[in-house]
Structure 1
Amino acid sequence: MSRKARLRRLVPLEEAVADLPARTLFHAGPPYDGAPPGAVVNAAAQAAVLEGWAPDLESARALIGASIGLRPAQDYGLVVPLAQVASPSTWCVEVGDADHCAYSLVSEGGPPALRFGSSDPACRQRARDWCAKLAEHANPLLERVAIYPEALMRQAHASGDDGHAQVQAGTRLIVDALHDLPATLKEEILANPGFALTVWMAFCSWKLRSSDSAITAIGGNGLAFGIKLNGDDAWNTVSAPPPSGPYFKPELAPESLGAIGDSAVVDACGFGGQALVHAPALLEEWRDYLPADATSRPQRILDESTGCIDPARIKATGLAPIINLAILHRDGADTPIGRGHYCPPVGLFDNEG
């Protein structure tokens, strides 16, 4: 790809995307066919309170799916992590070029966090006030400093980042590039080692839509996992089991949520599960869970011209992509309950299906 996308600014969603549907929240993965899981309801209720659509979480939960709608974020050029949802005032990172931009949510910090489906009110405060403070200081710098996410992602491989489950080196590279940020903000960003992920997500969403990729959207909503093929309006979906991997508290395994998050766009662009060869720590952590060909499989399913996973190669080889994802509690929690990977069924990628 000759075009290059840069990190352009931090911006509220309502200023970035025109004609958003009224009283609507935007979630990961394909549309829901029925009620969303508890973790997403928690995050949606938090967003509704933040928007002033409800006075408290209990009232907000009753409105989700009734007077407050839920729609897939990727249908609006937006990607969201895990169980989090976006609302009009949500702060987003904008990544793109003069022709096209994509958006993802600014990571508001470590646990407790909205992306895990937390009900802690501290999450709302950080998502509103801390993100606004970061935008105030970062946006003038981004007008002068060119940050190209793809270059930083590849540079971070040398320090053990896969670009999805492990992005600490990438976070440090972003902070180093924004060297004139106040020291306190730098410290707060570095205290959240996953900060870079949503920047990478925005870039990868841009790449899927701006290249000749056969897939333009991919992700899970906790109940279903889906893709959108280039030229299609509808999602292809399958039921979503939980990711496979170690649990921080094994006794919570029966309460796992199915695969969730738009961060699958990272893996679809050749990073994450397709870049585990660069992340020896993850290979060791997941050695009992990963496919035996985890480091060689990507060469067989990636399109050399785009660097993205290719449905034709997936179908021909019978090999599914590896999608790195955190494992959440189905009812939401302050932290994940594990992390691992998900391999969608090969049939999902059949463009004749």
Structure 2
Amino acid sequence: MPIPLDAKRAQLATLFDGACLRGVARLGDMKPALGDDVLLHAGPPLDGRVLSQPIRNAAIHALVYAGKHVDAAADAIDTGAVRLVPAQDHGVVTPLAQVVSSAMPVWRVGDDRHEVLAPIAESVPPALRFGSADAVCVRHLHEQADWAFDQLGARLAATPLAVRDWIDASLQAGDECHARTGEANAQLLAALGDLPAAYGETIAANANFVLPMLMAASAWAMQANGGSIAAVGGNGAVFGVRFAGERHWRTCAATAPIGPRLPGCEDVPVIGAVGDSPVIDFCGLGGQALGFVPALSQAWDALLPADWPERAAAVTDDIGLVCRHRIAASGRSPLVHLAMVSAARAGGLAGRGFYEPDVSLFQSARTTVT
């Protein structure tokens, strides 16, 4: 039986006890063993699959940010001169189609024992996380990186910010911290205090600025609370999970999220489920916290499965984490809130909705589904 919302909110916030935004750093400084010829992508390994256009765009931008000319970057991607590997296998989470190079800035989230890293969400669309081909994405990231290092590096190192507070306030305000992140972003901005006006305005205008921090905190919480699932996400072609204590990913074909399209994008083809942000939903937020967000459940009412109000209780353990054993026993899939990324050459955001992973992923005997 679902527990009352107030009790559920307290339970979910407790999962994040100890998780703090601790600083900003260059990925290569935090993970020197990766090397400059490695790029990090969302979800399970691509395994030689042809890159979707949005991920190819993002990979090129990642190398351009590192100093390559766009043509040289494209050639390095197409010839295999750089390797694309799963971000979560290296303690990093990245949103949607965004690809991370060693030169790029990352947020540090966690505690003294363990940190998870996540890239900066540099702007509203067009943006790297939506696989946009627009060169303005790189310019915006340079701008945001300069501000983050200048204004936040020393401040966060001296006074880390507790993520739990943002999550509790978000749930109270009717945000589930994935499809709706406005309250968490406002809480972050208030906690940061005085900032240059232009910097504060860019953060306020981009409700997803806080999203990678929430992702990193969720990946941290999955480990800190001894969850049965260590990693989860999609690469646009396949969706996968990695169980705690295992090194291999279990995968299935990634279908596109279901949900309303943006005006003018009704017929735009989109790639399959993509991004590491499902870690948020697997910490009891996002699709498992839909009961906190009547505005969202009402907007999606005609599309949601009829049993959605019971899904969270069926798939989460006693502390609120999505549990592979509960999924296998119930035969129900957790709901994952995801944006739709256009498969067109220019990439971009096409809509927002939800995705249901294949239940077979969570059955012990199944390793890979293709």
Match of 2:137 in 1: 123
Match of 1:267 in 2: 281
3-state SS in 1 of match to 2:349: coil
Deviations 1:295-343 (A, max 9, x none): 33101211113x2101111011111000000001113546411110000
Q: TM-score, normalised by structure 2?
A: 0.90
Match of 1:352 in 2: 365
Q: Distance in 2 between matches of 1:187 and 1:352?
A: 50
Q: 1:339 aligns with which of 352, 358, 362?
A: 352
Match of 1:323 in 2: 336
Q: Distance in 1 between matches of 2:169 and 2:308?
A: 21
Match of 1:282 in 2: 296
Structure 2 counterparts to residues 56-135 of structure 1, below 5 A = 56=70, 58-64=71-77, 66-135=80-149
Deviations 1:35-59 (A, max 9, x none): 121110001011112212x322x44
Any conservation in 2 of the 1:117–1:332 contact (CA below 8 Å)?
A: no
Q: Distance in 1 between matches of 2:248 and 2:361?
A: 13
The more displaced of 287-296 and 34-43 is 287-296
Q: 1:48 aligns with which of 57, 63, 87?
A: 63
Q: 1:169 aligns with which of 149, 160, 183?
A: 183
Match of 1:217 in 2: 231
The more displaced of 327-336 and 11-20 is 327-336
Q: 2:216 aligns with which of 195, 202, 209?
A: 202
3-state SS in 2 of match to 1:143: helix
3-state SS in 2 of match to 1:79: coil
Deviations 1:156-205 (A, max 9, x none): 11112111010001000000001122232111100001111111001011
Q: Distance in 1 between matches of 2:357 and 2:214?
A: 21
Match of 1:16 in 2: 30
Q: Distance in 2 between matches of 1:254 and 1:130?
A: 30
Matched AA of 2:322: I
3-state SS in 2 of match to 1:45: helix
Any conservation in 2 of the 1:247–1:337 contact (CA below 8 Å)?
A: yes
The more displaced of 243-252 and 315-324 is 243-252
Any conservation in 2 of the 1:84–1:114 contact (CA below 8 Å)?
A: yes
Q: TM-score, normalised by structure 1?
A: 0.95
Corresponding position: 1:237 with 2:251: yes
The more displaced of 340-349 and 275-284 is 275-284
3-state SS in 1 of match to 2:176: coil
Q: Distance in 1 between matches of 2:306 and 2:162?
A: 33
* CA separation of 1:146 and 1:48: change in aligned 2, threshold 3 A: closer
Per the TM alignment, residue 126 of structure 1 is displaced from its structure 2 partner at its CA by 1.4
* CA separation of 1:243 and 1:31: change in aligned 2, threshold 3 A: same
Any conservation in 1 of the 2:271–2:341 contact (CA below 8 Å)?
A: yes
3-state SS in 2 of match to 1:295: helix
Runs of 4+ in structure 1 displaced over 6 angstroms? none
Q: Distance in 2 between matches of 1:136 and 1:49?
A: 22
Any conservation in 1 of the 2:257–2:339 contact (CA below 8 Å)?
A: yes
Q: 1:159 aligns with which of 162, 173, 180?
A: 173
The more displaced of 241-250 and 89-98 is 241-250
Unaligned stretches of 5+ in structure 1?
none
Per the TM alignment, residue 17 of structure 1 is displaced from its structure 2 partner at its CA by 1.9
Per the TM alignment, residue 289 of structure 1 is displaced from its structure 2 partner at its CA by 1.2
Q: Distance in 1 between matches of 2:326 and 2:267?
A: 33
Q: Distance in 2 between matches of 1:21 and 1:59?
A: 18
Matched AA of 1:326: A
Match of 1:247 in 2: 261
Deviations 1:265-318 (A, max 9, x none): 00011000001111122112211111222233101211113x210111101111
3-state SS in 1 of match to 2:18: coil
Superposition RMSD in Å: 1.7
Deviations 1:116-135 (A, max 9, x none): 11111111011123222123
Matched AA of 2:93: V
Deviations 1:233-288 (A, max 9, x none): 11000000100111114765461110000000000110000011111221122111
Any conservation in 2 of the 1:175–1:186 contact (CA below 8 Å)?
A: yes
